[in-house]
Chains A and B, each alone.
Chain A
Amino acid sequence: MLVLTRKKGQALMIGDDIEITVLETQGDQIRIGIKAPKDITVLRKELYLDIQEENRQALQSDKSALDDLARIFKEQAPE
């Protein structure tokens, strides 16, 4: 991993169009500003990991439960 030291107000460029600025530090919290093109997804890593985990759990969906589920939807479906 590349490690750089920045002070408050200083920024980093990633490529030509992603800019990351250290806005504020307070104790162990750091506020970061990110400027990036709209097609770049920026999100907290925990969220990304949670979704990864949810996809894995979805893969383990209980097969017999799925049959029950199909039945429920069929019963509820309008004629």
Chain B
Amino acid sequence: MEIKTKAFDTVAIDPADIITFARGLIGFENKHKFVLLGDPEKTEALVWLQSIEDQNLALVAIQPRLFRTDYKPSVHLDELKDLEVEDEADLLVYAIITVPSQVAKMTANLKAPVVINVKNNKAKQVILNDDRYKIKEPVFTEN
């Protein structure tokens, strides 16, 4: 099927790749179906979390361990009940990033990661009760 996207205009996707957020993303609770789109020619580190229902609803996400190698969110499996997790190794974690015009000031939301069960493509944005992680965690440390 073809969908209209924010970053790449019209893109052909495999319906099997559609990720379902039973409760939507926080603040966008009425949109449930997304796909992950990458642009491997540019970078594989970043993906677009693109709604298939709303062209303009697309967020950029990063695998947090790329810049915080020790990132280890602790989420109770009961909280991931919707995801029907059988093996924690099936879980893929992304942090949504916010990019201001100055790229160096980009932040990732490590407090509310997106967790995807790759086995069934069910996903949830969870909120961590963990003070180690911030909503605006700088991706690039100043040096």
* Contact residue among B78, B100, B109, B136 (Cβ-Cβ distance under 8 Å from A65): B100
CB-CB contacts of B99-143 with A at 8 A, as 1s and 0s? 111110010010110000000000001110100000110000000
Task: Give bound CA distance, A2 to B44, whole Å.
Answer: 50
- Count B interface residues, CB 8 Å: 38
* Contact residue among A48, A53, A54, A65 (Cβ-Cβ distance under 8 Å from B101): A65
The number of inter-chain residue pairs (CB within 8 angstroms) is 100
Residues of B near A14 (CB, < 8 A) are none
Q: Does the CB pair B42–A74 fall under 8 Å?
A: yes
A58 within 8 A of B: yes
Task: Give bound CA distance, A17 to B85, whole Å.
Answer: 23
Q: Does the CB pair A73–B46 fall under 8 Å?
A: yes
Q: Does the CB pair B39–A41 fall under 8 Å?
A: no
CB-CB contacts of B19-56 with A at 8 A, as 1s and 0s? 00000011110000000000100111110000000001
Which residue, of B27, B44, B81, B109, has the highest number of chain A Cβ atoms within 10 A? B27
Known A59-B58, A66-B46, A70-B39; 13 more pairs at CB < 8 Å? A38-B76, A41-B79, A47-B111, A52-B26, A54-B109, A55-B109, A58-B109, A59-B59, A63-B7, A65-B106, A67-B42, A69-B106, A71-B43
Q: Contact residues of A with B, CB < 8 Å?
A: 37-39, 41, 43, 47-48, 50-74, 77
